[in-house]
Amino acid sequence: MKRVGVFLCWCGSNIAAHVDLDRVQEMSEDLGNVVHVQQNKYMCSEPGQETVRKAIQRHGLDRVVIAACSPRMHERTFRRTVEGAGLNPYLLEIANVREHCSWVHPDKETGTPVAIDLVRTAVAKAVQDVPLQSSYAGVEKRALVIGGGIAGIQAALDIAGSGYEVVLVEREPTIGGRMAQLDKTFPTLDCSSCILTPKMVEVSQDPRIRLLTYAEVESLAGYVGNFEARIRLKARSVDFVKCTGCGDCWNKCPYRTPGEFDLGLGKRKAIFIPFPQAIPSKPTIDRDTCAYFQKNGKCQVCKKFCQAGAIDFEQTDEILEEKFGAVVVATGFDLWDHARYGEYGAGEHPDVISSLELERLLSASGPSDGHLKRPSDGREPKRVVFIQCVGSRDEAKGVGYCSKICCMYTAKHAIMLKEKIPDSQAFVFYIDVRTPGKNYEEFYRRATVEAGAQYIRGRVSRIYLRGKQLVVVGEDTLLGQKVEVEADLVVLASAVVSRADAPQVAQKLGFSYDNYGFFTEAHPKLAPVETNTAGIFLAGACQGPKDIPETVAQAGAAAAKVVRLFAKDKLETEPMVARVDPEHCAGCQWCRPICPYQAIGMETLTERPGGRRVTRRVARVNTSLCHGCGACSVACRSGAMNLLGFSNEQLWAEVEALCL
């Protein structure tokens, strides 16, 4: 026998005018388990709450039902109220007699029976309520940032700047990412390196940031506040403690290979730093190119010239196991491979290049020292055709979405072209020019008016060679004419796509990704930097195409979320979570794939039925990961899985009470 108190709120006249509360009271008093019924004009007011608290104490109530507005409005308020009277806050139920009754029914005649049903149902549920407790877990106040591009750099700096330790993991031998490869940035034409490298240096000098380059996260276990990461430090064959970064080794190394940083347009040595401002500024040996590794210990020129004795051919990969409280994923993007467009030459024309390759050709630190020369013969291109939406907005061959940044960087390229080669002419084939952003439209106007770029609305159907001359054939859809442009260089604005291994990364870290491989935010509007795994946040283009300011803003937001987490010493977990009854669990694991949070694991139980020792596997819910959706409780075949707060017993009681 429970002792339920029912409190009927008038909400001024909001409820009282459409529901005969005296009749509801009479009915309620007749319900089993109900020992006290009371009305109040405004139950949510302080005096109203006080009457509830007093009644709990005076009548020894152990369950409370409040018939008032929507629980989405005041459930939290009333939980605190009953808690104030010494009752567990989850021994409270609310009957929504305002939004779901008095406001939608015209008079007492129609409203009252509905209210009676709702109160009776709430009482039935309350009788089944059980006290629930939050649990608490500690927080490891260190953040793991994966990816050392501008997103990861910004997130690391912001978290470290708030006083917390950060480990920044980058797969390449240097941080800097895509932004380091760019020449200028739109719409200000700031030199990309000039604004990025100070931040890179800041990362290397911040004592709270531990920088791990040439390293990859192999696995991530645990949950918010308590992640455990395994990080592989790839062997660089250089002892960083001894190395001074003097550069003798890479100057003397006799072996060259096309450099990744220059997208193969320039060469680097087998022992190298990817670009002059690389951080760390110490070299790495690429074992696939190095003669020592490829030709049985021959060469060793670097070792001979290294005065610090830092070359270590015997170095092996190292595994690091570290604990973290939160993770920021900032793994960046790739460009769509335009070789998949046969009509654009299938990647076979050396003078048909991607926009990122053009960045390298424009860059003063690039393979041509900033002199724009075309790859085939080193000639200065005079007529340059830019093609927009290569792969983007092309559901047939590429991706359906807009890559967002191409319109703007193409305008930048047109301006840069005119600046570098004043007697040049840019032609831009476009579908739409999209310039939403501060000073973006003005910048595009600058490309057309000042730099004189000729924008042609239409798609290119073919790029072909007439002898040695590249010819671009397209349609001008505004004129309704076929156009042919002879070009010295063609630049393709290839789609921004997710990293090829993005799905594996998402699976490894435990959150979801979309059809294109971009990481999925927890909510498109209200949780754009969170993932659906608590404690893992997203920054930058790994979540979708973004320009630099947006990336920096998102990285700052991700850092703020991390800092918010670290501001607490203990994390309170939601008490309304799934729970397994191990007695009934058959260990079928049907619940595990249905859980969107990977919150269900297995544990081994040891029992001694009749003196025999028996072990069996049963499901176990990690309450730190569970969000309380209840999907598992329906999937469970043996009824072992239940959802606290919306338990099988509670919902069953509600159905039965409603159908009386």
Partner 1 sequence: MKVAYYPGCSSHGSAADYDRSARVVAGALGLGLVEVPDWNCCGASSAHALDHQLALDLAGRNLALAAQLDLGGVVTPCAACYSRLNRAHQWLGEDRRRWLDLAARVERPYRDVGKPRSLLELVVGAIGLPAVAERVRRPLQGLKVAAYYGCLMLRPPEVARFDDPENPRSMDDLLRTLGANPVRWGHKTECCGASLSVSRPELVRKLVDDILDNAAAAGAECLATACPMCQANLEQRRSADRTMPAYYFTDLAGLAFGFSPVDLGIAMHLDSSLHPLLSQGQGGDRP
Partner 2 sequence: MPLAEVEPKIVAFFCNWCSYAGADLAGTSRIQYPPSVRIIRVPCSGRVNPRFILRAFQLGADGVLVAGCHPGDCHYSTGNYFSRRRLSLLRRFLAYLGIDERRFRVRWISASEGPRFAETVKEMTEELRQLGPAQKVAATSVD
> Which residues of the shown chain bind partner 2 in the complex (CB under 8 A)?
70-72, 96, 98-101, 103-106, 110-111, 113-114, 117-118, 121, 512, 520, 523, 532, 576, 594, 596, 627-631, 633-635, 643, 646, 648, 651-652, 654-656, 658-660
Q: 212-231: which residues touch partner 1 (CB under 8 A)?
A: none
Picked from partner 1, partner 2, none, the partner binding residue 493 (CB below 5 to 8 A depending on kind) is: none
Tokens describing residue 437: 């952003």
Give 399 or 414: the residue with its C-beta nearer to partner 1: 399
What minimum distance in Å lies between the beta carbon of 426 and partner 1?
A: 22
Look up tokens 């790495």; give the residue. 284
User: Phi and psi at residue 365, in whole multiples of 5°?
Assistant: -95, 10
| Contact yes or no for 203/303 (Cβ under 8 A) | no
Stretch that binds partner 1, among 38-46, 90-98, 461-469, 590-598 (CB under 8 A): 461-469
Give 14 or 424: the residue with its C-beta nearer to partner 2: 14
CA distance 483 to 31: 84
Give 468 or 525: the residue with its C-beta nearer to partner 1: 468
Give 467 or 610: the residue with its C-beta nearer to partner 1: 467
CB-based contacts of 629: which residues, under 8 Å, 6+ apart? Answer: 596
What minimum distance in Å lies between the beta carbon of 368 and partner 2?
A: 47
Give 16 or 489: the residue with its C-beta nearer to partner 1: 489
Tokens describing residue 121: 């149902």
Helix (H, G, I), strand (E, B) or coil at 525: coil
- Binding test (CB under 8 A) with partner 1, winner from 467, 524, 610, 611: 467
Size of the site for partner 1 (CB under 8 A): 13
| Contact yes or no for 400/423 (Cβ under 8 A) | no
If one counts every other C-beta atom within 10 angstroms of the C-beta of residue 483, the result is: 15
Q: 374-400 b/e with 16+ CB inside 10 Å = b?
A: bbeeeeebebbbbbbbbbbbbeeebbe
What minimum distance in Å lies between the beta carbon of 464 and partner 1?
A: 2
Picked from partner 2, partner 1, none, the partner binding residue 161 (CB below 5 to 8 A depending on kind) is: none
Which of 407, 386, 396, 405 is closest to 474 using CA atoms?
386
Stretch that binds partner 1, among 21-29, 141-149, 447-455, 458-466 (CB under 8 A): 458-466
What minimum distance in Å lies between the beta carbon of 529 and partner 1?
A: 40
Check binding of 319 to partner 1 (CB under 8 A).
no
What minimum distance in Å lies between the beta carbon of 469 and partner 1?
A: 8
CA distance 496 to 403: 5
Bridge partners (DSSP) of residue 527 are 523
CA distance 145 to 441: 34
Q: 334-373: which residues touch partner 1 (CB under 8 A)?
A: 341-343, 345-346, 348
Give 98 or 459: the residue with its C-beta nearer to partner 2: 98
Give 438 or 466: the residue with its C-beta nearer to partner 1: 466
What minimum distance in Å lies between the beta carbon of 226 and partner 2?
A: 22
Q: Is 60 exposed, middle or buried (0-12, 13-18, 19+ CB in 10 A)?
A: exposed
Stretch that binds partner 1, among 41-49, 73-81, 227-235, 457-465 (CB under 8 A): 457-465
Give 35 or 473: the residue with its C-beta nearer to partner 1: 473
What DSSP line would sit under 529-562, residue for residue? SB-SSTTEEE-GGGSS---HHHHHHHHHHHHHHH
What minimum distance in Å lies between the beta carbon of 461 and partner 1?
A: 9
What DSSP line would sit under 262-301, residue for residue? TTTSSEEESEE-SSTT-SS-S-EE-TTT-HHHHTTT---H
What minimum distance in Å lies between the beta carbon of 648 and partner 2?
A: 7
CA distance 558 to 544: 15
CA distance 652 to 355: 61
Give 104 or 465: the residue with its C-beta nearer to partner 1: 465
Give 373 or 462: the residue with its C-beta nearer to partner 1: 462
Picked from partner 1, partner 2, none, the partner binding residue 110 (CB below 5 to 8 A depending on kind) is: partner 2
Amino acid symbol at 579: R
| Contact yes or no for 223/138 (Cβ under 8 A) | no
Picked from partner 1, partner 2, none, the partner binding residue 631 (CB below 5 to 8 A depending on kind) is: partner 2
- Binding test (CB under 8 A) with partner 1, winner from 205, 241, 466, 606: 466
What minimum distance in Å lies between the beta carbon of 465 and partner 1?
A: 5
CB-based contacts of 528: which residues, under 8 Å, 6+ apart? Answer: 521, 543, 554, 557
Picked from partner 2, partner 1, none, the partner binding residue 627 (CB below 5 to 8 A depending on kind) is: partner 2
Which of 521, 543, 539 is closest to 530 using CA atoms?
521
What minimum distance in Å lies between the beta carbon of 429 and partner 1?
A: 16
CA distance 472 to 131: 73
What minimum distance in Å lies between the beta carbon of 402 and partner 2?
A: 19
Check binding of 240 to partner 1 (CB under 8 A).
no
CB-based contacts of 198: which residues, under 8 Å, 6+ apart? Answer: none
What minimum distance in Å lies between the beta carbon of 581 and partner 2?
A: 15
CA dist list (Å): 651 to 90, 91, 214: 15, 15, 54
- Binding test (CB under 8 A) with partner 1, winner from 17, 130, 465, 500: 465
Helix (H, G, I), strand (E, B) or coil at 360: helix
Check binding of 464 to partner 1 (CB under 8 A).
yes
Picked from partner 1, partner 2, none, the partner binding residue 462 (CB below 5 to 8 A depending on kind) is: partner 1
| In 331-468, beta strands by DSSP E | 333-335, 352-354, 383-390, 425-430, 454-457, 460-466
Give 78 or 440: the residue with its C-beta nearer to partner 2: 78
| Contact yes or no for 444/433 (Cβ under 8 A) | yes
Picked from partner 2, partner 1, none, the partner binding residue 117 (CB below 5 to 8 A depending on kind) is: partner 2
CA distance 116 to 21: 9
Picked from partner 1, partner 2, none, the partner binding residue 596 (CB below 5 to 8 A depending on kind) is: partner 2
Strands 352-354 and 469-476: unpaired
What minimum distance in Å lies between the beta carbon of 147 and partner 2?
A: 23
Dihedral-angle region of residue 366 (phi above 0 means left; psi in -120 to 50 means alpha; beta otherwise): beta
Q: 470-509: which residues touch partner 1 (CB under 8 A)?
A: 471
What minimum distance in Å lies between the beta carbon of 588 and partner 2?
A: 17
If one counts every other C-beta atom within 10 angstroms of the C-beta of residue 606, the result is: 8
What minimum distance in Å lies between the beta carbon of 345 and partner 1?
A: 7
Give 276 or 342: the residue with its C-beta nearer to partner 1: 342
Picked from partner 1, partner 2, none, the partner binding residue 464 (CB below 5 to 8 A depending on kind) is: partner 1
Amino acid symbol at 456: I
If one counts every other C-beta atom within 10 angstroms of the C-beta of residue 270, the result is: 27
The binding site for partner 1 (CB under 8 A) comprises 341-343, 345-346, 348, 462-467, 471
